[in-house]
Structure formats: C-alpha cells, structure tokens
Amino acid sequence: MIILLLGVYLTANYFANRLKPIIKAELKDLVLNATDSLYSVEFSDLSLNLLTKGASLTDVKFIPDTNVFKRLIALKRAPNNVYYIRLKTLSIKNFHPKNLFKFKKLNVELLLFDNPDVVMVNTQFDFNENKPSYLQKSPYDYISKYLQELRVNEISFRNVKFKYINNNGKVPEIDSVDKLNVNLKGWLIDKESDKDPTRLYALQNVMINLNDYSYATPDSLYHVNWEHFNFSSASGKLNITNFKVTPRLSEMNFAKTAGYSKERYQISMRKIDLEGINFPLYIKKRELYATQMNVMDGALDVFNNNELPARKKIRNGKYPHQLLQQLKGAITVKLLSLANVDISYAEYDRDSKEKGTITFKRTSGTITNITNVEKIKAKGPYLFAKLTTYIMGEGKLDVNFRFDLDAKDGAFSYSGALGNMDGRVLNEVTMPLGMVQVKRGMAKKLSFDIKANDQKAKGSLQFAYNDLSVALLKRDKEEDKLVRQVWMSLLANAMVINSDNPGKDGVFINAPINYQRTETASFFSFIWRTLFVGIKYSVGVTPKKEEEIYRKIQKFEQIKIDRDKRRSLKEKRRRSNDGR
C-alpha cells in the first residue's frame, strides 16, 4: 500500500513538472491578454501539486507597463487606477485540473495573496466619467483563447501594506495603511458575466477589514484610531467601532505648542455605520456617497485656553458648512442620524483662572444633505440639522440649524426652545466665564431665532424665568479662589437684575440680538456668546445698565482706595505720636 501511494505521488509530481513550463508560459500570456497588455506577471518559481489541487508562485510581481498605459490614455481606454503588487508567495487552493484540461474551465476555491505590498495610483480621466461600473469590453475576449470560464470563489489579500497615491493635483498626495485585509468574492469571467450590472470588475463583493488601526495626524497633535473597520460592497455598508480622536497633549499644554489660544478636540464614538455606499463611484472618482450615516454613543469635547493670547489670524471660513465645502474629496451623506452623543465646550478664563464648561448631554437628532457636490447642491443648497439635547444634563433643548451651502459669507440660521431648568446648574459655566453665580432662579422657557454669518448675528431671544438672584464674583489673589462681592451683589440684585420675567407688572422683556463676532472666535464660541448676550439682556443687564454698573464699580473702587489711604495716613500719624 505504501509503495502504491508513493507511486501515485511520484507520478502526479512527474506530470506536474512536465506541465509547469506550459502553465508558466500560458499564465504570463493570460495576464497580458486579460489586462490589454497593461500588466505583466513575474515570479521565480511555480509549485504545482495535482494531488492536493494546489499551486503556488514565489517572488511574485504584478507590474504595469508605463508605455502601454500611455497608449491606453491616448486611446481613452486607460483605467483610473494602476496597481503595483509585490509578494513573497501567491497560493492557489483547491483548483480542478480535470475541468481545466477537459472543459477549459479554471475553477479555484481560493487565491491567497499573503503579506502583499500594494501601491495604487489614482488619476481621474474625463473619458471615464460616464462609464458604467461593469466592464465596457468583455474580458472574456481576452481569455477565450485559453479558457471558457475563469472562476475564483475567493481572492484574499491578507495583512496588506497599502499605499494610495492621489495623482490629480499639482503635487501627489500619499496615504498608507498596514495590516489591511481585503476579500474579493465571486470573481467570474465567462460569456455572460460582463453583462451583470451587479458585478464590479467581475466581482460579486469586495470586503475590507482593518482592525486596531492607529494614525498620527501630520501636525502631530492627534492620534486617530479605531478597534474594528468592516466594509462590504455588496451590502453597501461600512461599520466602525470604538472610533477615537485623541489629543497628544493635555488641555493646558495643547495650545502652548502653538503659542496662542487654539481649540483642542477630543472625539470618542462607540459605533459609526454608513449605509447605501456607492462603491463603484468611490473606485472611479474617489467620491464618497452614502444614503445614511448613524453615529451612536459618543462624546465630542472642545477646550480652549483663553489665558493665552488670541490668534491674530482671522478665522473666517471655519464654520461647519464652510469646512465641508473646502474638503478636497467629494462627499455626500443624505442623512446623518445621531443618538446619545455628549457634547461639551469648555474655556479656561484668564481672569477667573478657572475652567468653565457647558455640556449638551444625550444629544440625538438628524442632519440632512451633507454634501459638497455641485450637482447635488443644485437640487437643494441647504444643510439642515434638527437636534434634541439636555443642557448640563437637565434642561431639554430642541434646536434647528439651516446652513447655506452656497453662501460666501457662511450664512446660517438657528432657532430653538429650552424647557424648565434650575438656573443653578449653569454655575459651572457662568462662574468661571462670567464671574456670576446663580444663587437661585427657575427657567420656565427660553426660545431664540437667529440669523448669522461669519461677521454678525441678528435675531431675538425670549427668556421666561422667576425668582432670580445672583452673586457677583472676583478673584481673591491671596486665597487664590473666587469670592463674592457682597455689596456689589446686593446692588446688582436690587437695582439691575430683574428677578422675574415677565415682571410683577406683567411686562415681558424680549431680548433683541445684534452681536458682532470677534474674527478670531470659533463657531462654538460664537454660538454660545450670541445666546449669552440675549440672556443678559433678558435679566436686565442691558448695554445701558452695563455702563451704569461699570461707573458704580469704578466709584466703589475709588471709595475703597480713598478709605485705604485715610487708614494709612491715620496709621502713620499714630506711629508718629507713639514715637515722641
């Protein structure tokens, strides 16, 4: 029995060795013909085992011919993407020699590229603009001389080093990634496969997996990473879990590297899903199109250190919809759904020496028509956001934004309404940033309607509340903390602050808003300070009263200085009399 098995094995190897030169030559010829002579394949050895129905190539290179590529460009037949592939071993698992030699059908279960190095060069050609995703000229015409059918159930690229070169600008842009896994399913070339519009380059499905990914931004200020990344072209779905953008420096040290006040972002999202992705469009034009995006269970934290000098550079053109238009790549997401996202904006104040934070907890809602594609904007040039959140985790706030995607001045509008809330929960932001403590007060309803651009905001705010009492604060340098200004607080509550709106006379104070944006201010800061102007006006701190308060503060300060001088002179006279 052993002798018989050994004989079968040696016989199979004998025929395999006799076949190797023929297969080598035909394989190289097949690659040339199937790619319109654009690619050639080189390898140092071919291993063939007819018993195990396996084969392998070693030291493999798929190399594009630059002269052929230029000829295809002139003929307007060149593809947008050109690939350079190198790998140590290419394995073919479970192919069927009988079908190959008897029926001229090459059927393979698995084609494995292990640890390949892939370079993809993208150049957008106008002549490919309106071509369908399926192949224009049948690849069957190239293989029919050798095969009636070429079918590979799975082509697997494992642990890929991938480099993408965008060759469409003045200077090539390069991105790279390691540990990438790509599975290509259901590759079929026969008489009918090119007529199947569901196939992309003769494939039924493209599956991409990239786990435990980490990337340092070019400015070295952030790390971007995620735990899992999975994509399927057949379903048009992309799933990302545990996505994070993490600053490399602490809050107080972040802006110090720049030497000026600079916002620091920290992002954490448990789950991000995209649906309805047009993968052929992305492959052809690097344009991302998705019907829906879902972001769940996350946090966005923004921090600014105002102890540092403000950036002198004008920051116009930095609103969300303006940044969208400035993206180099085309992008469209028809609907973005947010669920349970916490948002916070914090500042460190140079006067109070403390950090103030306003938080928007459990934010949910939808954002529609996210796009920078002109033909889509022409159908509707507005981006809409409809959100529900809880200020400081307490007061329910419904807010609607409308961003004009075509406006040169960054025009947008926003309106909303806030329900019942204990005013004391705002002390976390009013004490450090406004030097005001809310001792008591109940917000009944706050509503606003504002139109703005990158220069100013105009509109109105209505704030109904009752039993408001505040304390004015100052920094005590000796005790290194905020302390109450007792007399100034009494004056403010008695002469300035309206304890109720509407007041006892039933008159309701509507707050007009006409706020000029500081050109170095961010979008978040602009929104917050615009609303704060209306709130101050509603409680009685009008521009006229602010001037009056300032004069009274100056008067009190002068009284204090005069009193201290008198005490000092009196003490000097006492010491002089004691010395006699």
Q: How much of the chain, in percent, has pLDDT values that exceed 90?
A: 30
Strands (E) in 133-236, as ranges, are 149-166, 173-189, 205-209, 213-216, 222-226, 228-232
Q: Note the pTM of the prediction, 2 decimals.
A: 0.77
CA distance 217 to 202: 36
Dump pLDDT digits (tens) for 222-246. 999 999 999 999 999 999 999 999 9
Band the pLDDT of 12: cuts 50, 70, 90. Answer: very low
Task: Give the range among 295-304, 357-366, 496-505 with minimum mean pLDDT.
Answer: 496-505
pLDDT band at 9 (very low <50, low <70, confident <90, very high): very low
Looking at residue 548, its pLDDT comes to 72
Q: Of 219, 154, 156, whose CA–CA distance to 188 is shortest?
A: 154
What secondary structure letter does DSSP report for 38? S
Q: Would you say residue 312 has pLDDT above 90? A: no
Indicate whether 2 pLDDT > 50.
no
Letter string b/e over residues 27-65, b meaning 16 or more CB atoms within 10 A of that residue's CB: beebbbbbbbbbbbbebeebebebeebbbbbeebbbebe
Task: Give yes or no for a contact between 418 and 425, defined as CB atoms under 8 angstroms apart.
Answer: no
**What's residue 3's pLDDT?**
35
User: Mean pLDDT for the chain?
Assistant: 83
| Sign of the dihedral through C-alpha 394, 399, 405, 409 | negative
Of 333-347, 482-496, 499-513, minimum mean pLDDT range? 482-496
Q: What is the pLDDT of residue 6?
A: 34
Residue 296 has pLDDT above 60, yes or no: yes
Average pLDDT over residues 504-510: 88
551 vs 366 pLDDT, higher one: 366
Lowest mean pLDDT among 61-75, 98-112, 341-355, 455-469: 98-112
Cα 69 versus chain centre, distance: 36
| Percent residues over pLDDT 70 in the chain | 88
Predicted local confidence at residue 1, as pLDDT: 37
SS3 183: strand
pLDDT, residue 242, reads: 97
Least confident of 144-148, 183-187, 426-430: 144-148
Between 402 and 97, name the one with better pLDDT: 402
The per-residue pLDDT for range 255-279, each reduced to its tens digit, is 888 788 888 999 999 999 999 999 9
CA distance 545 to 261: 31
User: Is the pLDDT assigned to residue 8 strictly greater than 80?
Assistant: no
pLDDT of residue 136: 53
